[in-house]
Structure 1
Amino acid sequence: MADPAPSALCAAVSATVMQGHLREFARWVKLSGTPEELQSLRTVQARLDEYGYRTQMLMHDAYISLPGRASVVADGAPLTAITHSHSRSSPQGGLSGRLVYVGDGRAADFAGKDVRGAIVLAEGIANPQVARLASLAGAAGQLHISPHHHLHEMCVSPVWGSPTPQTLAQMPATVVCTVSNADGSALRDQLEQGKQPQVVLHAAVDTGWRKTPILVGDIDGPEPDGPFVLFSGHHDTWYYGVMDNGSANATMLEVARLAATRRAEWQRGLRVCFWSGHSHGRYSGSAWYVDEHWEELERRCVAHVNVDSTGGIGATELSDAAAVSELIPLAGEAIREQTGHQHRGKRKARSSDDSFPGIGIPSMFGALSEQPPGPVKLRNALGWWWHTPEDLIDKVDPDFLVRDTKVFMHVVWRLLADRVLPLDYAAHARALGEELAAIGATLAGRFPMAPLTEAAEALRANAEALAGRAATADAARVNAALMRASRALVPIDYSHGDRFTHDPALPNPAWPTLQPLRDLAATAPGSDAEKFATVAAMRARNRVLHALREANAALAGA
């Protein structure tokens, strides 16, 4: 193993340099596809050019939705409100309808309620799950009750990236607005008292195809067409977005600057990507990049490190930073050595421009440091100012920004400079084994689990054996085997198994490919439903067994 993170590099992380970047980012409101976003991104390109990167500004078509003016009128009184990216615009004169309370907006909250043509009143920050359920149930509008007086901008599309003819029908069919907790709670109270307030939603949303930029910076490794590490974050913002995602962009530039000073020690190249379309196109930039560069990414990309919202004031929690199983040991090492925090290890949610699991690219992070638990239920723990006009330069703590950037410096350096890639597929196998054991317990002998558990155990043994001989084995051969294993295993771990499409931007269970086995466990023994579910479970088993066979062959043959 290379020096895990050269002390000179981590010590050189500069608050002064990064504050300079933040002051520049704080000048621009960077809505996707706007001239201001592109102008700001040009300043980033100039820095990468200065650091020795080969840069290009890619322009591509993306389906972007920019919220405009919004208001809500309740019983004739205007309420302060916002609308959301990929909401429908309201008709002339606004959208009116009966108000139906749906609690947190889960499937169980919609069950048994007739919301056709109605406006659903839902607790919490707007999100694609509620938008999808409301649209399927025939609602005409959604009114969200913010958890406090701040109103958080959101994208409510459940479609990952720009829609296709096949996914266009899944886009929201509702007018979506958010009001403050006080205003929304007053409406909920009226409903609980048996009253029916007269509510009208007004929303203007500019949705359509726009040219959006992606900035790509490259420094090759020893081989010009050889493997590379992908290091990425979005550049587009809500409002000025100095923390989200200006601080992350400052982290990216600082890691890129410092890593380039020791490029002679790299074992593989570094590609730095700044996305547009994260906030207003549901990850349209990174999704397009995958679609356009699938073959190259599949052949060359060893891992993806994503950066989001580093260094927030009060962000003292680093224990739950997320990574795929095979990168959790590296995440824990970096957090422990650079911050003194202990990393519990958390399964990576599918967010933060992680458009790459279908290809089979292991990924880590996104958000790294978070706020401690508080009384207000937010969508994440990035601070009350997240996605509001208050996300300004005063929301970034310079010391915390240095702390977080050192963690990213550590992991990027190891991925660049380690002789053998730090991908722990024994950890992956153990996590899969635990999942299979849990599913097997619920099935209680109704489905043959032994082939799966035996293949997972073989994966653990093969991964441990390869790790044991990696120090003396041919590094290129070992790394090729690890990449081949990742191409087999990551898609079954983080997608439904189609390597060439993007799953919806909705919560996925662990190992989505195993969901048919969980569905089988939920059926009544001896029922027709059990027999139908068994057909799906067998096909899912075969998909997972094939992936495990490919991974085992790769690791055993290295």
Structure 2
Amino acid sequence: MTRTLPTDPAAAGISAERMHALLTELCAFGRKLPGSPAETAACAIITRELAAAGVAHQVHEFDAFIGWPARSGVTLFGAAPREIAATGVGMAAGTPPEGVAAPIAEGTALAGRIALIEGLPRYDAVMAAQRAGAVGVVAISHGPERHYVQTSPIWGAPTSAAEVAMLPAIPVVQVAQEDGALLRAHPGTEIRLVAEAQREWRPVRMPVAEIPGETPHFVMLGAHYCTWGAGATDNLAAVVMLIELARLFAAAPRRRHGIRFAFWTGHEQGGYAGSSWYADHHWAELRDRAIAYFNVDIVGVRGGTTKALRNTTAELHGFAADVLEATVGPMPDSEKDFVAHALRRQDKYVPATRSARNSDQSFCGIGVSSLQVSAFLPASSAEHMPGSGLAWWWQTEEDTPDRCDPAVLATDALIHHNLLSELTAAETLPLDLVAMLDDVLASLREYAEAAPDLTEIPLLRSLADEVRAAAAALASQPVADAAARNGLLLRVTRLLNPVLHHARSNHDYDFGRASRMLPGLALALGLAGSAPDEARMARVALRRRANRIADALQAAAATLHAPGTRN
């Protein structure tokens, strides 16, 4: 499809200066921890701007489980003790004020020692050290910066004491690369690790605004406004973009479909507490009325000229890619390869741009289609985090207003303006069901290669082929009744997206952050190497999860074959 869309932000009414001024105002509050006075102040500014634009809104208040670091540091003992700056980790255990002292070590002999690990202190690495008997972890950054991250497998609020017990029981910090090299030069030397931290339930605030359309359906955009530091590009640039888009669409003629703007809280500090709370409390409404979810994160980044389509479900990919190219032009193949590497996922055959378990993707269990466009640094940039499209200042104290380029932010706002404008005006929704089934078949291919004797895979492949054929037949038919066609498209996405993205159920979130399509079948990948009893138990689980996937495919087939579907 050929589109002619605005390519000049100013011509679309977008003001780079207004957005950057508001970003600077919000950055001035520093860390905006969920439930803190700084969050309350930032919330007041967001609602002030929405009110000034005449956009109806409300502030949801609820309790969220939040974890964050406080005072952190490392002391290297020896002939001349040295103090080393460190950054703590959200959701990790804390130390007493005086810290913990133990020798440092790398490798697997960690009992009673403080482990040194490379890179970001993510959950799996921290728990591996804990299982090996480490009493603490010091992660070594790839550069002079120190990143704030959280180390939790839980999505949203925990639901039991057993889940809380899954959180790390040892303290964790990150140090700069140079300081890490110093520690490595003193293996076996005692250090003192200080990592004061908090984990607690606390009341939080979350603004949500809405511009109604002619139909009851809506597109939802979300951006987290909680931050580790000032948070200019992660994620206040997205927050001010949403406000700018709300201002523009509120002043424009009513769209065919409505728009909802959500300002999430508890992003990293709560494991996506805000968006998961919203999904839990608006489940039926989102199932029945949401057309799509745009996650808005990492925009306006200085030097961010590579516009990376990511966290995009298959059915929206063609539409989003088309609008993106019409707005900013085609991406060179070298940049496509770079983005694919930066977005690496576990699947062998599924595109890297598909939705991952990050970035407030709390709506896949409901079946809502999603997309995201981020401002990545180009492959040639010297300011990358290693192996990433993100800038080195991501989630650091250095993410200050000067790291946000107003011109880049204006372009990113135009991209989202065009995506939103096209989708909310669509008479027939641009949802590609065939692409969804291609993802199902691509996933089944990998599982079949890993477990060729698993009888469930051929059955699922046969069902997926049937649904794909029905979806292709539907797509080839002219649309006689747009409302009926839209309802059909949405019903099928509600059936397939939950099994494509959730292993356990449509209403519960899986643990961990690893991204894989049809994750319910992931046990098949290790089946060949399992001990006999483990393999037997895995096969029981695989049968049950295959039944869930088959049920979704059979329901999708019945929906597409039902009388009256050729609208």
Fold shared, TM-score > 0.5 on shorter chain: yes
Counterpart check, 1:423 vs 2:412: no
Mapped contact 2:304–2:375 kept (Cα < 8 A): no
SS of the aligned residue for 2:307 comes to coil
Residues 1:3 and 1:147: Cα distance change in structure 2 (over 3 Å): closer
Counterpart check, 1:396 vs 2:404: yes
SS of the aligned residue for 1:410 comes to helix
Q: Which residue matches 2:497? A: 490
Q: Which residue matches 1:170? A: 166
Q: Which residue matches 1:110? A: none
Q: Which residue matches 1:66? A: 68
The correspondence for 1:179, drawn from 175, 186, 200, is: 175
TM-superposed CA distance for 1:49, in Å, is 2.2
**Where do 1:69-80 residues align within 5 Å?**
69-75=71-77, 76-80=81-85
User: Aligned partners of 1:371 and 1:281: how far apart in 2?
Assistant: 31
SS of the aligned residue for 2:186 comes to helix
SS of the aligned residue for 1:436 comes to helix
Counterpart check, 1:227 vs 2:217: yes
TM-superposed CA distance for 1:298, in Å, is 2.1
TM-superposed CA distance for 1:370, in Å, is 3.7
TM-superposed CA distance for 1:394, in Å, is 1.1
Mapped contact 2:307–2:373 kept (Cα < 8 A): no
CA offsets per residue over residues 300-343 of structure 1, 9 Å max, x none? Answer: 22211010121211112224533111111122112211111336
Q: Which residue matches 1:285? A: 274
User: Aligned partners of 2:13 and 2:19: how far apart in 1?
Assistant: 12
Give TM-score, length-normalised by structure 2. Answer: 0.88
Counterpart check, 1:339 vs 2:328: yes
Q: Which residue matches 1:105? A: none
Mapped contact 1:371–1:383 kept (Cα < 8 A): no
SS of the aligned residue for 2:95 comes to coil
Higher deviation after alignment, 117-126 or 530-539: 530-539
User: Aligned partners of 1:142 and 1:8: how far apart in 2?
Assistant: 49
User: Aligned partners of 1:366 and 1:278: how far apart in 2?
Assistant: 18
Residues 1:187 and 1:543: Cα distance change in structure 2 (over 3 Å): same
Mapped contact 1:371–1:382 kept (Cα < 8 A): no
Give TM-score, length-normalised by structure 1. Answer: 0.90
Output the amino acid matched with 2:227. Answer: T
**Where do 1:314-463 residues align within 5 Å?**
314-342=303-331, 346-365=353-372, 367-372=374-379, 377-378=385-386, 380-447=388-455, 449-463=457-471
Output the amino acid matched with 1:295. Answer: A
User: Aligned partners of 1:436 and 1:289: how far apart in 2?
Assistant: 32
> Which structure 2 segments of 5+ residues have no match?
341-350
Q: Which residue matches 2:345? A: none
SS of the aligned residue for 1:449 comes to helix
Output the amino acid matched with 2:40. Answer: L
TM-superposed CA distance for 1:448, in Å, is 5.1
TM-superposed CA distance for 1:24, in Å, is 2.1
User: Aligned partners of 1:454 and 1:297: how far apart in 2?
Assistant: 31
The correspondence for 1:142, drawn from 128, 137, 146, is: 137
Output the amino acid matched with 1:243. Answer: T
Identity %: 32
SS of the aligned residue for 1:426 comes to helix
The correspondence for 2:488, drawn from 453, 459, 481, is: 481
Q: Which residue matches 1:107? A: none
SS of the aligned residue for 1:323 comes to coil
User: Aligned partners of 2:98 and 2:548: how far apart in 1?
Assistant: 52
SS of the aligned residue for 2:527 comes to helix
SS of the aligned residue for 1:318 comes to strand
Q: Which residue matches 1:109? A: none
SS of the aligned residue for 1:438 comes to helix
Output the amino acid matched with 2:174. Answer: T
Mapped contact 2:460–2:546 kept (Cα < 8 A): yes
How many residues are matched? 538
The correspondence for 2:539, drawn from 518, 529, 534, is: 534
TM-superposed CA distance for 1:129, in Å, is 2.6
CA offsets per residue over residues 54-103 of structure 1, 9 Å max, x none? Answer: 1101111111223211110112321111212122121353112232314x
Residues 1:368 and 1:215: Cα distance change in structure 2 (over 3 Å): same
SS of the aligned residue for 1:154 comes to coil
Mapped contact 1:82–1:153 kept (Cα < 8 A): yes
TM-superposed CA distance for 1:418, in Å, is 0.6
User: Aligned partners of 2:373 and 2:95: how far apart in 1?
Assistant: 34
The correspondence for 1:236, drawn from 226, 233, 236, is: 226
> Which structure 1 segments of 5+ residues have no match?
103-112
Residues 1:219 and 1:186: Cα distance change in structure 2 (over 3 Å): same
Mapped contact 2:7–2:414 kept (Cα < 8 A): no
Residues 1:553 and 1:27: Cα distance change in structure 2 (over 3 Å): same
Q: For the aligned residues, what is the CA RMSD?
A: 2.5
SS of the aligned residue for 1:514 comes to helix
User: Aligned partners of 1:46 and 1:319: how far apart in 2?
Assistant: 31
Q: Which residue matches 1:506? A: 513
User: Aligned partners of 2:260 and 2:234: how far apart in 1?
Assistant: 21
Counterpart check, 1:549 vs 2:566: no
Residues 1:292 and 1:319: Cα distance change in structure 2 (over 3 Å): closer
Higher deviation after alignment, 341-350 or 66-75: 341-350
SS of the aligned residue for 1:536 comes to helix
CA offsets per residue over residues 392-424 of structure 1, 9 Å max, x none? Answer: 111112221122112211222222111122211
Mapped contact 2:492–2:559 kept (Cα < 8 A): yes
The correspondence for 1:91, drawn from 96, 104, 111, is: 96
Q: Which residue matches 2:250? A: 260
Counterpart check, 1:16 vs 2:17: yes
User: Aligned partners of 2:264 and 2:364: how far apart in 1?
Assistant: 17
Residues 1:138 and 1:462: Cα distance change in structure 2 (over 3 Å): farther
Mapped contact 2:295–2:372 kept (Cα < 8 A): yes
SS of the aligned residue for 2:165 comes to helix
The correspondence for 2:295, drawn from 300, 306, 318, is: 306
Q: Which residue matches 1:250? A: 240
Mapped contact 2:305–2:375 kept (Cα < 8 A): no
User: Aligned partners of 2:261 and 2:329: how far apart in 1?
Assistant: 28
SS of the aligned residue for 1:201 comes to strand
SS of the aligned residue for 2:296 comes to strand
Mapped contact 1:420–1:479 kept (Cα < 8 A): yes
SS of the aligned residue for 1:230 comes to strand
SS of the aligned residue for 2:495 comes to helix
Mapped contact 1:517–1:540 kept (Cα < 8 A): no
Output the amino acid matched with 1:151. Answer: R
User: Aligned partners of 1:143 and 1:540: how far apart in 2?
Assistant: 38
SS of the aligned residue for 1:98 comes to strand
TM-superposed CA distance for 1:431, in Å, is 2.1
Mapped contact 2:300–2:410 kept (Cα < 8 A): yes
**Where do 1:83-162 residues align within 5 Å?**
83-102=88-107, 113-162=108-157
Output the amino acid matched with 1:144. Answer: A
Output the amino acid matched with 1:156. Answer: T
Q: Which residue matches 1:275? A: 264
User: Aligned partners of 1:313 and 1:92: how far apart in 2?
Assistant: 38
TM-superposed CA distance for 1:175, in Å, is 0.4
Higher deviation after alignment, 81-90 or 339-348: 339-348
CA offsets per residue over residues 416-445 of structure 1, 9 Å max, x none? Answer: 111122211111111221222232233335
User: Aligned partners of 1:228 and 1:162: how far apart in 2?
Assistant: 26
Q: Which residue matches 1:48? A: 50
Residues 1:370 and 1:364: Cα distance change in structure 2 (over 3 Å): farther
Higher deviation after alignment, 396-405 or 315-324: 315-324
Mapped contact 1:352–1:366 kept (Cα < 8 A): no
Residues 1:523 and 1:71: Cα distance change in structure 2 (over 3 Å): closer
SS of the aligned residue for 1:308 comes to coil
CA offsets per residue over residues 223-251 of structure 1, 9 Å max, x none? Answer: 4xx22211100001122111111111122
